[in-house]
Structure 1
Amino acid sequence: MMMRDQITVVPLFRGLRPEQCQALADIAIGKTYAKGQNIFAEGAEAAGFYVLVSGRVKVYKLSPEGKEQILHVIEPHDAFGEAAVFAGHRFPAHADAMEASKTLFFPRHAFLALVERNPSLALNMLAELSRRLHRFANLIESLSLKEVPGRLAAHLLYLSDRQGDRDELLLDLSKVQLASLLGTIPETLSRVLAKMVREGLIEVQEGRHIRLLDRESLEELATGERRLGAGI
């Protein structure tokens, strides 16, 4: 796929004219990363931002004790690191490749010069940046206000929506990674999953496949209208 074609499918650049996509392609630099390789570190100068072409990337924070909190899992066509570039700040978190990954890198100075010549570029990107802010606000709310069952229920419903509103889901993270994303530990996550199975909300199938059996109850868990029984 040509670089311009890769850019046209990126939500951050949705609605741009062909010549604008070509201008972005002209400044983009292809980069590849091995599984586990660091892409940028918290506190590093935000010299540009990235679009994931293939693979997966985790954006995360580390506590002083070294505990990892995953903030986002970046999927193909998603941009990451762009907020720091616009603000002229350093990266506020770490980013590592979760598997062999290819990215497009947009150098900050070249990108901002392009925006100055084409202000509509920035206007087109505002909607996607607003959606990112909304998702991040939901994450903060989930971690601070919801108990683990509510966080897990919300995540399962999010996966269902992302995978075509299906009831049969593929968990795309390991148990350790999912626990980190939900702000808990693997042992607690296992107990919550087992409790959801016993209460007939989900069915855990072979591998990382989960079937949603009671979507209404999961939605009530996610919104705090319902709680799982005792014993978690």
Structure 2
Amino acid sequence: MNKRLMLNMRERAILTSMPFMAALGPQALARMMESVVVNHHETRDVLFREGEAARHFYCVLNGYVRLYRLNREGREADVRICGPGDTFNEWLLTAGDTYPCNAQAAEPVTVARFDLAKVRALAEEERDVARAVIHCLSTCVRSTLEVVANDRLQTAPQRVATYLLGHCPADCTSASIRLPFQKTLLAGKLGLAPEALSRAFSSLRQAGVTVRGRLIQISDVSALRQI
């Protein structure tokens, strides 16, 4: 189900603080906000499919969206998991006329949708928007390189450890973390099959990591850093 909504104060704050919007001047920001459409999707709703004509890029305001590819046999592979504040499809602002992957609501999700054609036209008129597009594309390239490097250089337990350490409070010796989503989504986010994620968690027990549903206890943060 796809419902069109009005922006609330929290969602407006998320939108205006995302990197693409944060650097815009008042005039350019106002014109960008005029083009925003907010939609709500239920779990497993498909936002778009690979190969469809590309008309929008998105910012997640609430919930999580899976970007994934399918092979000929119907096997799915997650490309990215997008949460609140994340944008996707912005690379289509400069090239590409079809969506390169599928997008599905992993849970009830609210997204802001931008019309690609309107933003391209706006970038021709507003220098701030043109600069924001360039910055956004640069960020996409850097993050993609980082993901590829981690996939090549880190083992599955190391990927999980890096994720957990990134969510530990600074200077803590132990920590308790609650995943914001199901472990199947974490597996996709880290580029792992669900069974590979389970094996990785099992191997991290030696570093004091215990898992109970979404709750993850880390008894020795320093040991986890040594993985």
> Could you state the TM-score of these two structures normalised by the residue count of structure 1?
0.80
* Pair 1:190-2:174 in alignment: no
Q: Superposed, which structure 2 residues align to 1:206-217 within 5 Å?
A: 206-217=212-223
Offset of residue 169 of structure 1: 1.7
Alignment length (residue pairs): 216
CA 1:25/1:151 → structure 2, altered by over 3 Å: closer, same or farther?
same
Q: CA RMSD in A?
A: 2.4
Kindly indicate whether the alpha-carbon contact (under 8 Å) linking 1:57 and 1:73 is maintained by their aligned counterparts in 2: yes
**Cross-structure match for 1:230:** none
**Cross-structure match for 1:137:** 145
**Cross-structure match for 2:73:** 65
Q: Give 2:188's aligned amino acid.
A: S
Kindly indicate whether the alpha-carbon contact (under 8 Å) linking 1:42 and 1:93 is maintained by their aligned counterparts in 2: yes
Offset of residue 217 of structure 1: 4.1
| Distance in 2 separating the partners of 1:188 and 1:181 | 13
SS of structure 2 residue aligned to 1:87: coil
| Distance in 1 separating the partners of 2:54 and 2:147 | 23
The Cα offsets for residues 1-49 of structure 1, whole Å up to 9 and x where unpaired, read as 2576553122321122232221111111222211111111112221121
**Identity over the aligned pairs, expressed in percent?**
27
Given candidates 168, 178, 185, the residue that maps to 1:177 is 185
Q: Give 2:144's aligned amino acid.
A: F
**Cross-structure match for 2:4:** none
| Distance in 2 separating the partners of 1:191 and 1:87 | 40
The Cα offsets for residues 148-197 of structure 1, whole Å up to 9 and x where unpaired, read as 1122222223344xxx6573222233233333333333333223212211
Offset of residue 129 of structure 1: 3.4
**Cross-structure match for 1:225:** none
The Cα offsets for residues 36-77 of structure 1, whole Å up to 9 and x where unpaired, read as 111111122211211122221111222333332222221122
SS of structure 1 residue aligned to 2:166: helix
| Distance in 1 separating the partners of 2:144 and 2:208 | 27
| Distance in 2 separating the partners of 1:187 and 1:74 | 22
**Cross-structure match for 1:200:** 207
Q: Give 2:165's aligned amino acid.
A: L
The Cα offsets for residues 210-230 of structure 1, whole Å up to 9 and x where unpaired, read as 133343443443xxxxxxxxx
| Distance in 1 separating the partners of 2:201 and 2:79 | 21
Q: Give 2:213's aligned amino acid.
A: G
Q: Give 1:79's aligned amino acid.
A: T
Kindly indicate whether the alpha-carbon contact (under 8 Å) linking 1:48 and 1:108 is maintained by their aligned counterparts in 2: yes
**Cross-structure match for 1:157:** 165
**Cross-structure match for 1:107:** 115
SS of structure 2 residue aligned to 1:49: strand
| Distance in 2 separating the partners of 1:217 and 1:55 | 32
Q: Give 2:160's aligned amino acid.
A: L
| Distance in 2 separating the partners of 1:60 and 1:140 | 16
* Pair 1:34-2:39 in alignment: no
CA 1:127/1:170 → structure 2, altered by over 3 Å: closer, same or farther?
farther
Q: Which moved more, 1:132-141 or 1:72-81?
A: 132-141
| Distance in 2 separating the partners of 1:212 and 1:138 | 25
